[in-house]
Chains A and B, each alone.
Chain A
Amino acid sequence: MPVKCTADCGRNAVLKRPKTGDALCKECFFRAFEEEVHHTITAAKLFVPGDYVAIAASGGKDSTVLAYVMKLLNDRYNYGLKLVLLSVDEGITGYRDDSLETVKRNEQQYGIPLKVVSYEELYGWTMDRIVEQTGRRSNCTFCGVFRRQALDRGAALLGVDKIVTGHNADDIAETVLMNILRGDVARLQRCTAIVTGSEGVISRSKPFKYTYEKEIVMYAYFKRLDYFSTECIYSPNAYRGHARVFLKDLEKVRATSIIDVIHSGESFSVREGVKMPTQSICERCGHVSSQAVCKACVLLEGLNKGKPRLGLGKSSKVEEHLARQSTDSSGTTQTPTDAPHTAQPSHTPSRSTHSNTLRTLHSLDF
């Protein structure tokens, strides 16, 4: 005998909600899913009418569902938002070019304009070429550091007020656990905030903070949403860190574990007197950074100078390098002969291109 929907609509249930264990029909599940996101948005006051909001879109399930639901709720509840899709093209052949096709289809399907910023134009390097230089070992560091800035810079180019990302409850719970495991109290404090962003940076928020990953997949499945689900060719298994495996195990034992971990994360804060990194501005590009020179600038410097491992190892090496460089350049003006001696493609723009673009961006008045 078919199970009836527990929301008592009279229809037969087709799914068991991972979050609550209730049996629901398709319509009641859609409604519950959308209303919960709406509740998160209104309770946390994520937007004000008239906001210009960029949806970070990768073509994956989270951001595809986010784009769909944002559009739907904006229409249903008259948020008064102007939406735009913002994608970052890391330059990974066979992965990002395909997923960008998905985002382009989304642009048509949902009628939300799309803006793509690429590593190529921002940094002068594609991930394909970075991997050629660094090998497979640390490529994710480059990609992650560059992406973080790329989104900000794309958003600044568009002149948006806010960015929303598709981070879901599983991602946040995993981050809580990971930050405990590696002792990063500063991030542990920050990672449960639904809105992040300090002064001078466009704020980011996570409307899916309390939404289970499984329910996002379910929603996309039953709505037949078009998304791209191939793993990145450069880090096929990077997704499964220790924390993620642990969280999945916990979820198997008790389905509410994910929300329980987030509740825990919301319930503690760092004791007074613990040294926390101070956030300042990168002296090269003006982006927010906890060091004098931000990680992106250091990594880029390494790439451009043919020392791709710079910035991956000890921070003392970086300081040494930067100190030496400043003494060098104070004596002689930089000439093309200063260019790195290793095999490096000739069309690589110099560091200053990156820095200059960034300066221009930051001097724009939004």
Chain B
Amino acid sequence: MCSVDPDGVIEMTRATGTLDISKGDVMCRKCASAVAEVVLRVRDAYCRDCFLAYFTHKFRSTIGKSKQIHPGDRILVGLSGGASSTALLHLIREGLQESSHKKLRFDPVFLYVDECVLCGSMDEGCDHVHKVVEQVASLGFQCYVAALEQVMALQPVLPVLRTQEWKEMKHTVDENLRKKFCELFTSCKSASAQQDLHDQLLQTVLRQCAHSLGFRKMFLGDNSTTLSVRILSQVALGRGSQLPARVHFKAPSQSVEVYRPMRELLENEILHYLNLQDITVLRPPTFQPKNTSIASCTEEFVRSLQNDFPATIPTIFRTGDKLVSTTTQAEKEHDSSADSLTSDDFCALCGSTLDTEKGEASALHATVVSQKYSSKRPQEINAVPVQECGKVKSDGETSPDPGGGMCGCAKAGGDCSKTNMNVDQKWEMSKTLEQCLCYGCRVTLRDLADTGLLPAKVQATVAEQKQRKIMKEQIQDFLL
């Protein structure tokens, strides 16, 4: 049947020619008294002052209308050195310097995470750290520095304040973690898995740093453009349930609340701001996978669509704002008791609420069924029918044993018990691991050659959750 959706046929508005202000004869559409220097939304021209007023207002109102940031709050601001977070740094300084009634009243401290383990040499890394710290210090703020490879450590490593200390620590402690981190990354079989793992680990490091420094609130520099790309890429990665946590203004994570004050500003607006204010952006190297990944494919798609249809990014962004995760919503509805969320309900790798309790009729279960029917791996065949047979019987179906009828699968199960114990143990381990992960992390770890390389903290969490599950089973009959 024709699958043209009648509602999809209603076309989005295509971009018309951009307004040309290069001749200097276009006046600002707001004040009409100054020459326009900036064009927004394809055809709206603004002069320098009106644009800066508009830009700053958008930033401040995002914080103001949320009513979440209180006078005296200590806030850790994540700084990548890119355009968005550099603009955030300057907006915060301007806000703190304002006259009394407009003054921002929180207390910011900055945090830079060094990624030189993935790109560039250690010396280059130190060089970038130095520049970032200097930039922050020149505006009168303090800057903590952490390294991405810290995520491999079992105990959280405390970020350090000064550049000199950083250099010393790096040479003594980090070599081991660095090696482990590189091993983990090289064992990723796909660019998508690498990029997703990088994303999750960076978030983990940020959270850990905020937590160990005793911050309850954290600012991140995500802008409207990056968030729109993220909305789609999270969906494509199977992380739909984490979308609110990754794109909303306020995202409560386990111990730290993450805020995104730049979220209503578009990337091109930020670039105009930096340009007009003559601010240099350091752009230290960040991780870029070599091949096309799900995330880079999404970014390319959104950006090219935005060129043709200027409403694309705002529309995606607003859609993202209206969505919540079904698991958290279900909890809200029938949750008056306090112990609804224990640590067992969080993904051991990314820390999100698990989205894997979906029942039989779900995409998650459908993939398990597909694997079962098209592979002979005995563990899967043994693992699935336990739930499977019960269900089939209770449905009153006349289905013969779903596993046994399949081209000698049962035989395969018998054969495989004799095979190498080592393989079985490894399989068993990854099975346990999988149960402690959210859907998105499971997809990523499928592309990981050796799950034993995962951060020690993740392994410890998995072991703990497994232990607790066993304990829970033992006392199951006595739980009310």
Residues of A within 8 A of B (CB): 5-11, 17, 19-20, 22, 24, 27-29, 31-32, 35-36, 38-40, 42-45, 56, 58, 60, 62-63, 77-78, 138, 140-145, 147-148, 165-167, 171, 175-185, 187-188, 194, 209-210, 232, 235, 238-239, 241-242, 246, 249-250, 253-254, 256-257, 259-271, 274, 295
Chain B residues within an 8 Å CB radius of A249? 297, 301
Decide: A8 and B408 in contact? CB cutoff 8 A: yes
Selected A-B contacts with CB under 8 Å, 19 pairs: A8-B409, A22-B375, A35-B369, A42-B392, A62-B1, A143-B2, A144-B2, A144-B7, A177-B235, A180-B320, A181-B316, A194-B361, A209-B366, A250-B297, A256-B238, A256-B367, A257-B236, A261-B236, A263-B363
Chain B residues within an 8 Å CB radius of A256? 238, 367, 443
Decide: A63 and B1 in contact? CB cutoff 8 A: yes
**Assembly CA distance A60 to B1 (angstroms):** 6
What is the minimal beta-carbon distance from B162 to any residue of chain A, in angstroms? Answer: 42
Chain B residues within an 8 Å CB radius of A6? 374-376
Determine which of A38, A77, A250, A269 lies in contact with B323 in the assembled complex, contact meaning CB atoms within 8 Å.
A269
Decide: A268 and B374 in contact? CB cutoff 8 A: no
Decide: B6 and A36 in contact? CB cutoff 8 A: no
Decide: B293 and A253 in contact? CB cutoff 8 A: yes
Closest to B405 in A: A31
Decide: B301 and A246 in contact? CB cutoff 8 A: yes
Chain B residues within an 8 Å CB radius of A11? 407
Decide: A183 and B373 in contact? CB cutoff 8 A: no
B445 lies within 8 A of chain A by Cβ:
no
Residues of B within 8 A of A (CB): 1-10, 12, 190-192, 231-232, 234-241, 243-244, 292-294, 297-298, 301, 305, 312, 315-316, 318-327, 329, 355, 358-367, 369-371, 373-376, 391-392, 395, 397-399, 402, 406-409, 411-412, 439-440, 443
What is the minimal beta-carbon distance from A75 to any residue of chain B, in angstroms? Answer: 12
Given contacts A8-B376, A261-B236, contact A239 B3 (CB under 8 A): yes
Chain A residues within an 8 Å CB radius of B10? 141
What is the minimal beta-carbon distance from A213 to any residue of chain B, in angstroms? Answer: 10
**Assembly CA distance A210 to B399 (angstroms):** 20
Closest to B408 in A: A9
Q: 16 extra interchain contacts, Cβ-Cβ under 8 A, other than A181-B315, A256-B238, A266-B326?
A: A7-B406, A8-B409, A19-B374, A31-B373, A42-B399, A77-B399, A176-B235, A182-B12, A238-B2, A249-B301, A253-B192, A256-B443, A260-B443, A268-B244, A268-B323, A269-B324
Decide: A267 and B373 in contact? CB cutoff 8 A: no
Closest to A172 in B: B363
What is the minimal beta-carbon distance from B35 to any residue of chain A, in angstroms? Answer: 36
Best-buried of B294, B361, B395 by chain A (most CB within 10 Å): B361
Determine which of B2, B190, B312, B360 lies in contact with A232 in the assembled complex, contact meaning CB atoms within 8 Å.
B2
Determine which of B9, B243, B244, B407 lies in contact with A138 in the assembled complex, contact meaning CB atoms within 8 Å.
B9
Determine which of B297, B406, B439 lies in contact with A253 in the assembled complex, contact meaning CB atoms within 8 Å.
B297
Determine which of B241, B293, B359, B411 lies in contact with A267 in the assembled complex, contact meaning CB atoms within 8 Å.
B241
Given contacts A36-B369, A147-B2, A259-B366, contact A270 B323 (CB under 8 A): yes
**Assembly CA distance A269 to B324 (angstroms):** 5
Chain B residues within an 8 Å CB radius of A42? 391-392, 395, 397, 399
Best-buried of B6, B231, B359 by chain A (most CB within 10 Å): B6
**Assembly CA distance A194 to B232 (angstroms):** 22
Decide: B373 and A36 in contact? CB cutoff 8 A: yes
Decide: B362 and A260 in contact? CB cutoff 8 A: no
What is the minimal beta-carbon distance from B74 to any residue of chain A, in angstroms? Answer: 30
Determine which of B305, B329, B374, B440 lies in contact with A22 in the assembled complex, contact meaning CB atoms within 8 Å.
B374
Closest to B407 in A: A9
Decide: A78 and B236 in contact? CB cutoff 8 A: no
Closest to B244 in A: A268
Decide: A266 and B301 in contact? CB cutoff 8 A: no
Chain A residues within an 8 Å CB radius of B371? 20, 22
Chain B residues within an 8 Å CB radius of A232? 2, 4
What is the minimal beta-carbon distance from B358 to any residue of chain A, in angstroms? Answer: 7
10 shortest A-B CB distances, which residue pairs?
Answer: A264-B240, A144-B6, A9-B407, A260-B238, A43-B360, A58-B1, A210-B366, A267-B241, A32-B373, A44-B361
Chain B residues within an 8 Å CB radius of A177? 232, 235
Chain A residues within an 8 Å CB radius of B236? 250, 257, 260-261, 264
Decide: A77 and B398 in contact? CB cutoff 8 A: yes
Decide: B369 and A263 in contact? CB cutoff 8 A: no
Decide: A32 and B374 in contact? CB cutoff 8 A: yes
Chain A residues within an 8 Å CB radius of B392? 42
Decide: A31 and B407 in contact? CB cutoff 8 A: yes
Decide: A28 and B406 in contact? CB cutoff 8 A: yes
Chain B residues within an 8 Å CB radius of A194? 361
What is the minimal beta-carbon distance from A242 to any residue of chain B, in angstroms? Answer: 6
**Assembly CA distance A142 to B2 (angstroms):** 12
